[in-house]
């Protein structure tokens, strides 16, 4: 197993250091894994003049999986769009054809009161949002702004091919099969033709998965149901834009951005695993970031790319033990609670292993 490690910017290297400690324990206990580290994002721009240098891309392409930290920071905000650190993630997704974004929203019992919703609504929440990453309004042509001031027109195009819809829906059905066998497909077929196609294809594929119950929901209703009764959902599959919005909404249900991992997978199970949060420039360098999303990203990698549910569960249980011991980083601490450091939390997970 070859893992490319790309820590990135801001808190990325700090939280990656804790994930590396976890990986060291697994390796000591027999996991056959090789790692190689490379610069990405702003750090790569500073050194090589590009956020995704050819050597970093090659490393990612040749690895079985990529463990990614986070990129970006105010220092790079004035750069041309194609040199911004965030371009590195888009480049990796495109070059490695990572088209399926898996974002779990899980509420650990110890943190049920960190949510802005009532604990009884979110306690035990465990849902998975699968977002398509390569199509939709973010890539469709024509696009742009035309016309003179006073008469300008802004255009973006929702564009989906059948092949793009088919492969993401298959990813949804397969994931549902591994979980509760319930798949909710989100669309906006009442007003968008591209979404009517989405719904038609979902219905056409359903007979291939007779063990999975397929339901449909319009995106506006889904946005409401996610805050009204989130436990209604198990696996949710949607297009790029709706998934962008709904997955952020779902992550807020859990109360902490510092707890949530994600995966972006290709058709063969190779993936890029990263926390959902960014580089948190406001706390970078202070040693206070929550490393758990990064560590849980490693657990997802063990499960989804390496098909090792045992070691993945071992890491997740170690995270649970660290939380049960009462340790809290600033983002998940209640008022008055002692706040621990990034390293303290990482070491507690290592002890939990």
Judged by the rule CB under 6 A, the positions of this chain that interact with ligand NAD are 11, 15, 70-73, 86, 89, 257-258, 274, 277-283, 289-290, 293, 329, 331
Is 248 among the residues known to form the active site?
yes
Judged by beta carbon, residue 69 or residue 185, the one nearer ligand NAD is 69
Q: Which of 76, 160, 188, 270 is catalytic?
A: 188
> Do the Cβ atoms of 234 and 212 come closer than 8 Å?
no
Give the three-state DSSP class for 135.
coil
282 is a catalytic site residue: no
Q: How far is the CB of 42 from ligand NAD (least distance, A)?
A: 8
Residue 326, number of CB atoms within 10 A of its CB: 11
Q: Is 244 a catalytic residue?
A: yes
Which of the residues 46, 64, 234, 244 is marked catalytic? 244
Alpha helices in the chain (DSSP H): 12-28, 42-48, 54-62, 87-95, 119-122, 162-178, 193-205, 219-228, 240-253, 292-304, 309-324, 342-352
Catalytic one of 138, 231, 266, 321: 138
Q: Which two tokens stand for residue 33?
A: 């894994």
Considering the complex, state which of residue 106 and residue 196 has its C-beta at the smaller distance from ligand NAD. 106
Residue 63 beta carbon to ligand NAD: minimum distance, rounded to whole angstroms: 18
- Closest to ligand NAD by CB, 324 vs 333, is 333
Give the shortest CB-73-to-ligand NAD separation in angstroms: 5
Q: Pick from 96, 267, 93, 71: which is nearest to 168 by CA?
A: 267
How far apart, in whole angstroms, are the C-alpha atoms of residue 160 and residue 198?
Answer: 8
For the bound state, the minimum distance from the C-beta of residue 350 to ligand NAD, rounded and expressed in Å, comes to: 18
Q: Which is nearer to ligand NAD, 63 or 158 (CB)?
A: 63
Minimum Å gap between C-beta 131 and ligand NAD is 13
CB contact at 8 A, 51 and 42: yes
Q: Give the list of residues 6+ apart from residue 119 with CB closer than 8 angstroms, or none.
A: 112, 113
Of 70 and 254, nearer to ligand NAD (C-beta) is: 70
- Which residues form the catalytic set? 138, 188, 220, 244, 248
């Amino acid at each position: 197993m070859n893992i490319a490690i790309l820590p990135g910017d801001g808190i990325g290297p700090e939280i990656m250091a804790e994930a590396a400690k976890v990986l060291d324990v697994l390796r000591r206990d027999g996991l056959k894994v090789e790692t190689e580290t490379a610069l990405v994002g702003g750090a790569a721009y500073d050194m090589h003049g590009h956020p995704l240098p050819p050597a970093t891309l090659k490393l990612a392409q040749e690895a079985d999986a990529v463990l990614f930290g986070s990129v970006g920071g105010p220092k790079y905000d004035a750069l041309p769009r194609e040199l911004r650190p965030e371009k590195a993630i888009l480049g990796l997704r495109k070059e490695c054809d990572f088209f399926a974004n898996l974002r779990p929203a899980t509420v650990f019992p110890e943190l049920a009161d960190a949510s802005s919703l009532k604990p009884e609504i979110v306690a035990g929440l465990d849902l998975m949002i699968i977002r398509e990453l390569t199509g939709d309004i973010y890539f469709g042509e024509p696009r742009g702004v035309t016309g003179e001031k006073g008469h300008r027109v802004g255009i973006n195009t929702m564009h989906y091919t059948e092949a793009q819809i088919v492969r993401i829906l298959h990813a949804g059905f397969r994931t549902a099969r591994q979980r509760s066998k319930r798949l909710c497909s989100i669309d906006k077929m009442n007003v968008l033709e591209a979404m009517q196609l989405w719904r038609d294809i979902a219905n056409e594929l359903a007979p291939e998965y007779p063990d999975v119950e397929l339901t449909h929901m319009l995106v506006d209703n889904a946005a409401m149901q996610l805050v009204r009764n989130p436990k209604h959902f198990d696996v949710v599959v949607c297009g790029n834009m709706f998934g962008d919005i709904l997955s952020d909404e779902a992550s807020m249900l859990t109360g902490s951005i510092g707890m949530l991992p994600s995966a972006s997978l290709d058709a063969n199970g190779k993936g890029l695993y990263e926390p959902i949060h960014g580089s948190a420039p406001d706390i970078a360098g202070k040693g206070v970031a929550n490393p758990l999303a990064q560590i849980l990203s490693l657990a997802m990698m063990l499960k989804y790319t390496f098909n090792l549910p045992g070691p993945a569960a071992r890491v997740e249980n170690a995270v649970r033990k660290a939380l049960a011991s009462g340790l809290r980083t600033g983002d998940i601490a209640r008022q008055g609670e002692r706040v621990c450091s990034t390293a303290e939390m990482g070491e507690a997970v290592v002890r939990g292993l």
